[in-house]
Amino acid sequence: MIKTSFADAAGRALEGIRAEGRYRTFVPLARQAGAFPAARLHGRTITVWCSNDYLGMGQHPVVLEAMHEALETYGAGAGGTRNISGTTQAHTNLEVELASLHCQESALLFTSGYVANEAALTSLGKLLPDTVIFSDAGNHASMIHGIRQAGVDKRIFRHNDVEHLEELLQQVGNRPKLIAVESVYSMTGSIAPLVEIVRLARHYEALLYVDEVHAVGLYGAEGGGIGQALGLDGQIDIVQGTLGKAYGLMGGYIAGRSVLVDYARSTAAPFIFTTAIPPVVAAGALASVQYLRRSGRERFIHRQRVLALKNALREAGVPFRDGDSHIIPVMIGDAVLCKKVSDTLLQKQGFYVQPINYPTVPRGTERLRVTVTPQHSEANIQELAHALGMLVGVKKTMAAA
Ligand SMILES: Cc1ncc(COP(=O)(O)O)c(C=O)c1O
């Protein structure tokens, strides 16, 4: 009986999600190394327009070669948690490289960027019991969960509003403070005013934690992120990043002062009680990070492609949020229409852009989150802009239907 009630409740909840037009379906792609951003889907060739493999490093020969070699050297899995036989030289070499990339004393790997945020913010947040955490209203779910689990006081400041942040900082006197922000916000493409935030953190003696997940590999002379691009190397207390987006692999990390990183290593349950990422992944990530430190070519072409796509969308009359970064949200504002536009693009044109719905974004702000890579051609860009223009541009054919 009780089991049936669980199943009934799950069924009803799913019906509700479907009725709101935000039921999520997988698109099972057959990615093809060497052909990205083309992929196979149900026997057809399609073009992917929503990958976070921003630079196509997931198929880069340097990365693949390092992974083949690591597979032969280490075998498949890590064989344990980091503390119990799961640490290899591939892991420690990558941590040394990441610390150096961010001009920090140490770095620590986690199984994903999500886990890194949740674990590090929980651990550091509750280190001093009277701490207040100041969190940007646009922060990612992983940061929100980490902050919540820290169980200390928090203040949410309006997105990227440094005046509001300062107002809130002034209200808490000399209690320990931690400011948590992203550098590039993943759903709007906006960039944080990091110079100002660093100044406030210094002035109010707050620990500054910056999620550079959507910036590492892409910004800064060596791909160190927005902090590096703005000359803030070493001025951010904890930099958090992922290996799963511009670096083309998976895994997350934090980098910062040794004593703080070591504290997270020694106390964060999501670090301690889980199997380490496979050494083959760590070796591939190391190759990717090292490659993008010395080569600016991919970043250069990427920037050009982003500008070209924004121009093409503008010409086609497509409404998008121009947030200074590479992320291009095409605003639709309705879950059912968003899914319909996405389905039509895939079925008719073979363009895959995933609809983004609540709870990832607030209701009424549903969007297509378009990402372009150095591997998308000028012709690809024109075709997508044209197709989107026909569906949601000035003609608004689909919106009117
Ligand atoms: C801002 C931000 N932080 C963290 C994460 C989680 O990173 P990962 O995909 O490596 O778990 C994401 C994922 O998209 C993100 O957008």
Residue 122 has pLDDT above 70, yes or no: yes
Average pLDDT of the chain is 96
Q: Is it the case that residue 398 has pLDDT exceeding 60? A: no
Q: Is 395 a catalytic residue?
A: no
Reported as a single tens digit per residue, the pLDDT across 21-52 is 889 989 999 999 999 999 999 999 999 999 99
The answer, yes or no, to whether any atom of ligand 1 lies below 6 A from the CB of 393, is no
pLDDT band, residue 281 (cuts 50/70/90): very high
Question: What is the rounded average pLDDT of the residues 262-278?
Answer: 98
Is the beta carbon of 371 within 6 A of some atom in ligand 1? no
φ, ψ at 256 (rounded to 5°): 180, -160
- The CA 235 to ligand 1 mean position distance, Å, reads 22
Residue 53 CB–ligand 1 contact under 6 Å: no
Tell me: pLDDT of 299 over 80: yes
Res. 171: pLDDT tops 50: yes
> For residue 67, is pLDDT > 50?
yes
- Between 269 and 393, whose confidence is greater? 269
Q: Hey, which of 111, 140, 187 would you mutate to test ligand 1's pocket, going by the most ligand atoms within 8 Å of its Cβ? A: 140
186 lines ligand 1 (CB under 6 A): yes
The response to whether residue 244 sits with its C-beta less than 6 Å from ligand 1 reads yes
Confidence of residue 323 (pLDDT cuts 50, 70, 90): confident
Measured in angstroms, how far is the CA atom of residue 112 from the centroid of ligand 1? 8
pLDDT band at 395 (very low <50, low <70, confident <90, very high): low
Under 8 Å between Cβ of 355 and 322: no
Which atom of ligand 1 is nearest the CA belonging to 251?
10
pTM of model > 0.85: yes
pLDDT in tens, 172-199: 999 999 999 999 999 999 999 999 999 9
| Atom of ligand 1 at shortest range from CA of 140 | 1
pLDDT at 401 over 70: no
Alpha helices in 102-178 (DSSP H): 113-125, 141-150, 162-170
Residue 400 confidence (pLDDT): 45
Among the listed residues 3, 126, 154, 245, the single catalytic one is 245
- Supply angle C-alpha 293, 188, 250, rounded to 5: 40
Contacts of 102 (CB under 8 A, 6+ apart): 224, 225, 227, 228, 233, 236, 239, 241, 255
| 111 in contact with ligand 1, CB cutoff 6 A | no
**Residues shown for the chain:** 401
Ligand 1 close to Cβ of residue 51 (< 6 A): no
45-54 b/e (C-beta count within 10 Å ≥ 16 → b): ebbbbbbbbb
For residue 129, the model assigns a pLDDT of: 86
What is the per-residue pLDDT across 355-374, written as a single tens digit (0 to 9) for each? 999 989 999 999 999 999 99
Is the previous residue joined to 362 through a cis bond, with omega within 30 degrees of 0? Answer: no
Per-residue pLDDT tens for 203-236?
999 999 999 999 999 999 999 999 999 999 999 9
Q: Does residue 1 carry a pLDDT above 90?
A: no
**Which of 213, 274, 354 has most ligand 1 atoms within 8 Å of CB, for mutation?**
213
Choose the residue to mutate in 53, 117, 242 for probing ligand 1, maximizing ligand atoms within 8 Å of C-beta.
242
- Please give the pLDDT value at position 280: 98
Tell me the per-residue pLDDT of 125-148, one tens digit each, with 9 for 90 and over. 999 989 999 999 999 999 999 999
183 pocket-lining for ligand 1 (C-beta < 6 Å): no
Atom of ligand 1 nearest to the CA of 115: 11
Question: 164: phi > 0 → left, psi -120 to 50 → alpha, else beta; which?
Answer: alpha
